[in-house]
Amino acid sequence: MEITRHSQGPDVQEHEFSRIERAPAYRLVYDAIERQILAGRLRVGDPLPAETQLAEQFGVNRSTVREGIRLLEQSGLVERDGGKRPRISVPHYLDLASSASRALILHMVTFRELWEASMVLEPAIAERAAGHIDEKGLADLSANIAAMTAEVEGIETGRPADVYGFVGLDRAFHEILANVCGNRVLALAHEPVTSLFIPAGRIILPRLKTYRRVLDAHRYIFDCLVAGDAPGARTWMHKHMDDFRRAYELTALSLDTSLDAASLGMVNGTAQAHSR
């Protein structure tokens, strides 16, 4: 809130205050319920009170309450099961990630900033995964590497490359690591960053033909995980991500160009749908 001071003499000052912006009533309903959820007074699985009850408590009409609940649904804080009353839920990490990815784009972050963040996150995730991964996680990674191996061998024998499919396998490998690393904060922070790398991968792979190089890096990391070699996993992931930066530079793309919605396919869901 801005305050402007006008001097009217040595001892008199007048203050002018800017107009206070009022939030829509439905947003106040959303904020009030969100505070109850974050404070733990409403827990996951608890049903929300009936709309008529909420309208009476907030002193607003039912349509305002309904709009506030709709906003809570969009944010993933509540969900409906058929015609039943909405219940408190936990937002899916993909929903959170897509919101964070959009925020990164709106803040005009550069590839360099994205890569620098990944150089902190990815090696840390790989290192932790070596000490936390279980048999299922190893099996999932093994299946992922087998699928990537089949794709690379097909490309090397002349089959047209499925760039979208390969990038999807690459992303899945890193997602598995994030999900088994034993730290949900790292997993949540990882998703929006890796999502924004997808378009870069689709540019680099057809130009530089680095399919085998990506596969080899994943194999080295996997071997470290099987051996429980945390330092080794960290080292190889660091090399893998640094290799990605060098490949980006070899395509003559600028590290300091800001990411934008059009180039990253964020305007609609087409590109993201292909990557899954």
The set of long-range contacts for 205-212, using a CB threshold of 8 Å and a minimum separation of 24, is 205/161, 205/163, 205/166, 205/167, 206/161, 206/163, 207/250, 207/251, 208/247, 208/250, 208/251, 210/247, 211/151, 211/152, 211/155, 211/161, 211/166, 212/152, 212/156
Q: What is the mean pLDDT of the chain?
A: 81
The yes-or-no verdict on residue 208 having pLDDT over 50 is yes
Which sign does the torsion angle of CA 8, 13, 18, 22 carry?
negative
Q: Residue 40: its pLDDT value, please?
A: 75
pLDDT band at 270 (very low <50, low <70, confident <90, very high): very low
Nearest to 175 by CA among 207, 144, 147, 135: 144
Q: Residue 78: its pLDDT value, please?
A: 84
Give residue for tokens 């060098």.
246
Give residue for tokens 């649904």.
73
Average pLDDT in the 72-97 region? 72
Taking only the tens place, the pLDDT of each residue in 219-238 is 999 999 999 999 999 999 99
Q: Residue 177: its pLDDT value, please?
A: 96
pLDDT band at 20 (very low <50, low <70, confident <90, very high): low
The yes-or-no verdict on residue 170 having pLDDT over 60 is yes
Cα 96 → chain centroid:
6
Q: Residue 26: its pLDDT value, please?
A: 85
Q: Residue 262: its pLDDT value, please?
A: 40
Q: Residue 121: its pLDDT value, please?
A: 94
